[in-house]
């Protein structure tokens, strides 16, 4: 029978965990989706607002294979596109900023603490891990959601009831990530 991670109160400053901000963001489903919405909105809307058209078939047209097709916007269509782009950016932009700040905060001054996986959840887009961890004699619950990754899903170190290591922001202990989920190595596999 496993001993409860709560009985292991030592907290060690994290040093060589090997995680980077870009690496964390590349796995984080909310960050990926919001980045896609930001880029997917900014590029076409800026072309429409500045040029009045979208250059379709741009690569085909530059190769000397014929005329470049254009999707032309006129009159009230341009302000409508700008308004829709503004609404999308008002949602996706702050979400992306929040995810970047969340991970920067955890990586800035992390503390390694022990925890335990409560459950794993799968759907076609995401893989999430629900877990509990103890920081300064207080229990916290966390959830990490990453894009679907079959290699990580099969790790022996990611099973319900398994002991894990959480990287916790010492100033805001609710902000945490499961180290075994985000590291490159196969952990227990």
Tens-digit pLDDT profile for residues 102-132: 999 999 888 899 999 999 998 888 999 999 9
pLDDT of residue 110: 86
Tell me how crowded residue 124 is: count the other CB atoms within 10 A of its CB: 5
pLDDT of residue 31: 93
174 CA to centre of own chain: 17
pLDDT of residue 121: 92
* CATH architecture for residues 8-18+110-182: Beta Barrel (2.40)
Both tokens of 142, joined, read: 């966390």
* C-beta separation of 102 from 96 below 8 A: no
pLDDT of residue 8: 46
Give the closest residue to 185 by CA, choosing from 166, 163, 160, 157.
Answer: 157
Both tokens of 113, joined, read: 């603490």
Cα–Cα distance for residue pair 51/68, rounded to 1 Å: 14
156 CA to centre of own chain: 23
Domain ranges of the chain: 8-18+110-182, 32-103
Task: Flag residues of the chain having pLDDT under 70.
Answer: 1-17, 57-68, 185-189
Cα–Cα distance for residue pair 182/158, rounded to 1 Å: 11
């Amino acid at each position: 029978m496993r001993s409860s991670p709560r009985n292991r109160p030592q907290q060690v400053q994290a040093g060589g965990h090997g995680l980077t901000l870009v690496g964390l963001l590349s796995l984080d489903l909310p960050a990926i989706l919001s980045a896609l919405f930001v880029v997917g909105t900014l590029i076409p809307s800026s072309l429409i607002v500045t040029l009045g058209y979208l250059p379709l078939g741009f690569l085909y047209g530059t190769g000397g294979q014929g005329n470049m097709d254009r999707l032309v916007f006129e009159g009230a269509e341009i302000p409508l596109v700008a308004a829709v782009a503004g609404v999308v950016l008002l949602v996706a932009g702050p979400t992306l900023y929040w995810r970047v700040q969340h991970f920067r905060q955890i990586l800035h001054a992390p503390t390694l603490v022990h925890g335990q996986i409560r459950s794993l959840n799968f759907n076609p887009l995401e893989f999430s891990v629900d877990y509990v961890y103890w920081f300064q004699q207080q229990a916290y619950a966390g959830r990490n959601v990453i894009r679907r990754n079959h290699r990580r899903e099969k790790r022996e170190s990611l099973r319900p009831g398994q002991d894990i290591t959480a990287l916790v922001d010492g100033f805001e202990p609710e902000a945490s990530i499961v180290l075994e989920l985000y590291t490159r190595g196969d952990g227990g596999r």
